Structure 1
Amino acid sequence: MVSANFLGVFLLMELLAGGFRFGADGLSMNYYIFNCPFVEPIVRSTVASALQSDPTLAAALVRMHFHDCWIQGCDGSILLDTTKDNTAEKDSPGNLSVRGFKLIDDVKGKLESMCPGVVSCADIIAMAAREAVSWSGGPVYDIPKGKKRMEGGLKSRTLSNLPFPTFNASQLIGVFGQRGFSAQDMVALSGAHTLGVSRCSSFKSRLSDPVDPTMDSDFSKTLARTCRGGDNAEQPFDMTRNNFDSFYFQALQRKAGVLFSDQTLYNHPKTRAIVNNYAMNQAMFFLDFQQAMVKMSLLDVKEGSKGEVRADCRKVN
């Protein structure tokens, strides 16, 4: 049981730390300070416990956040289950490998028991991804909260909006630019691939005759060995798949990017210098990454104070 004195001290500390900053869209870093003041420690402890059991979930949570925001804005619609009237985002081909839904359910359940109908599913995804980055050794950052807007997920929009692993740097710059991101933002966000793995099905085309010449020859043999295990065989993006660091960019310098869309960042004159900077200066990468993540968390949420807070993240109220 939390004492009133402790709660008072907690709120005072938030005030002194510069809390209650609201934007024109109704979002705030401290949006839940009065109506659900312990949302942060609940998310943090639940995510940490899950990652201790399965460190690979860190990459999954960051990917879920990206896919949620990229399709129709950060509205939590990637969590919705398919119904007879609508094919959910999670069941479209580009999202079939997205995972971590049970963890989001666990967080939502705990929050609903303490402050029902308050914390949005979109905010839970964003906070869970943030905690995953921090837990893995990455930068500590905060994101504006209070996102409520939700729309159903449509298969066609999912397919048309996600960047593909076959995109070259010019295509990536264009696609990200359409959403308001600079080339530097795009490269920083691509650095999330320092966590996790890719499946053979996403890079096997690079091994066709002729083999992609942008790859190191020894690394192409490594990928070929991985693909002997079938389309679902996994290849880590860098040597520390569960650690958030700058090794991903160092791999690109060695021509050991797993996806074509990874390696192309080192081949393009507009992005190569950014890759080199991040490979050499991890602090710079961390700073740019956290700024890009905050920017991404605001995609298409200009009406953040409107909409519903779902009681169950898998279905509309």
Structure 2
Amino acid sequence: MATLAPTSSFFLLLLLILQLYSGKSDLQINYYSESCPRAEEVIKEQVTNLYNIHGNTAVSWIRNLFHDCIVKSCDASLLLDTAEGMESEKTSSRNFGMRNFKYINTIKEALEKECPMKVSCADIVALSARDGVVLLGGPHVEMKTGRKDSKESYVAQVEGFVPNHNDTIQSVLSVFQSIGVDTEGTVALLGAHSIGRVHCTNIVHRIYPTVDPTLDPTYAEYLKGRCPSPEPNPNAIEYARNDRITPMLLDNMYYKNILSHKGLLLVDQQLVSDPDTYPFVEKMAADNAYFHEQFSKALLILSENNPLTEEQGEIRRDCRYKN
């Protein structure tokens, strides 16, 4: 039997080490089991405490996941404030209405007391969304962890990835398809519009100067009551809830509403008029369990979009600033 030369043995050993190292950098279930065993429990405790005080934080966590992960990577770049010549993604008009960022710091502070510099802000974004979904009556999604935090902001790329409420449904589908979410999954993710609220600045074009003919007339009158001016003050608290019946439940009422022409945003109503998306709207309106199943699958894909691992990123001390 031939024997390996010392140099061959060395290179085989080096390859094995590299394979083991690269495997460690992948996202994993219970990534923090050794470095911070209570990490996920601490996040869940903080998310629950914040929800009990400020119920709308659960909605914010889901929005954070989408607005962060859809832009380049699931890397907490959204959380960076403007500093050192770097402009924050929060300044983009596509992130208008995003709030409760300060409570991310509350979660981070609790984790830093538990195990300093072990848990990334990107994993906080993912796991807080997961736990927020459950608090809003949605399904539990088993998420992997091990993401690292971005050292830069991608504000210039936000408009190319975060859909506008006036975009065509086909362009929205295209964005989601670029990260691996299919049509069925996109329809399910838009079901997150069953919770939270929309500022009047994003609604008034459907009711002024004339009412959008795809809107139910009675619903249009309700919206005029919520948004009495065609030029609302963007800094004022003027909004309408996405769903008036179960406003804080992540359920299939959203699909029932848009089938009844009571969708708040133009993109919502297009789900009904587009032949590619309409069949899924019907199925989700008829079956809440089916909606939850598809929502879980799509949210998982979104949460794993191009994560930074190991040396590609860092673990921020403060989620608002790079180290």
Name the counterpart of 2:49: 49
Structure-2 separation of matches of 1:242 and 1:63: 14
Where do 1:122-201 residues align within 5 Å?
122-201=122-201
- On the 8 A contact 2:151/2:314 being kept in 1, the answer is no
Once the 2 structures are TM-superposed, how far is the Cα of residue 248 of structure 1 from its aligned partner? 0.8
Once the two structures are TM-superposed, the CA of residue 313 in structure 1 deviates from its matched residue by 0.7
Q: 2:269 pairs with 260, 263, 266, which one? A: 263
Please report how far the alpha carbon of residue 168 of structure 1 lies from its aligned counterpart in structure 2 after TM superposition.
2.2
1:58–1:195 Cα contact (<8 Å) kept: no
Distance 1:93 1:189 in 2: 21
Q: What is the percent sequence identity of the aligned residues?
A: 32
Q: How do 1:1-317 and structure 2 match up within 5 A?
A: 26-228=26-228, 230-231=232-233, 232-238=237-243, 239-301=245-307, 303-306=308-311, 307-317=313-323
Query: Is this contact kept in 1: 2:71–2:154, CA < 8 A?
Result: no
Post-superposition offset of 1:255: 0.6
Return the alpha-carbon distance in structure 2 between the equivalents of residues 159 and 175 of structure 1. 11
Q: Distance in 2 between matches of 1:60 and 1:149?
A: 19
Whole-angstrom CA distance in 1 between matches of 2:61 and 2:147: 18
> Are 1:47 and 1:103, in contact at CA under 8 Å, matched by a contact in 2?
no
- Please give the secondary structure, in 1, of the residue aligned with 2:240: strand
Deviates more, 1:157-166 or 1:128-137: 157-166
Largest Rg, 1 or 2: 2
1:64 and 1:99 in contact (8 A); partners too: no
Q: Which amino acid aligns with 1:201?
A: T
CA distance in 2, matches of 1:23, 1:258: 45
RMSD of Structure 2 on Structure 1 (CA): 1.7
- Displacement of 1:178 in angstroms is 2.3
Cα distance in structure 2, aligned partners of 1:51 and 1:105:
15
> What is the identity, as a one-letter code, of the residue corresponding to 1:50?
L
1:62-120 per-residue CA deviation (whole Å, 9 max, x = no partner) reads 11111011122110111111014111111222224211212211111111112111100
Unaligned runs of 5+ in 1: 1-21
After superposition, the C-alpha distances for 1:257-289 in whole angstroms (9 at most, x for unaligned) are: 000011111111111110111111000010110
- Rounded to whole Å, the distance in 1 between the matches of 2:211 and 2:97 is 26
**Alpha-carbon distance in structure 1 between the residues aligned to 2:72 and 2:153:** 8
> What TM-score, normalized to structure 2?
0.87
Contact 1:134–1:140 (8 Å) recurs in 2: yes
Paired amino acid for 1:234: Y
Find the residue that maps to 2:276 and give its secondary structure. Answer: helix
Partner amino acid, structure 2, of 1:316: K
Alpha-carbon distance in 2 for matches of 1:24, 1:296? 21
Mapped contact 1:61–1:99 kept (Cα < 8 A): no
Work out the CA distance in 1 between the residues paired with 2:149 and 2:64.
17
Shift of 1:24: 7.8
Between the aligned partners of 2:198 and 2:110, the Cα distance in structure 1 is 32
Paired with 1:298 and 1:25, the residues of 2 have a C-alpha distance of 13
Q: CA distance change for structure 1 residues 124 and 117 in 2, over 3 Å: closer, same or farther?
A: same
Question: Which stretch of structure 1 is more off in the superposition, 117-126 or 203-212?
Answer: 203-212
Distance in 1, Cα, partners of 2:70 & 2:180: 12
Would you identify which runs of 4 or more consecutive aligned residues in structure 1 move more than 6 Å?
Answer: none
Using the size of structure 1 for normalisation, the TM-score is 0.89
Distance in 2 (alpha carbons) for counterparts of 1:118 and 1:84: 25
Structure 1: distance between partners of 2:135 and 2:164: 28
**Counterpart secondary structure, 1:72:** coil
- Name structure 2 gaps, 5 residues minimum: 1-21
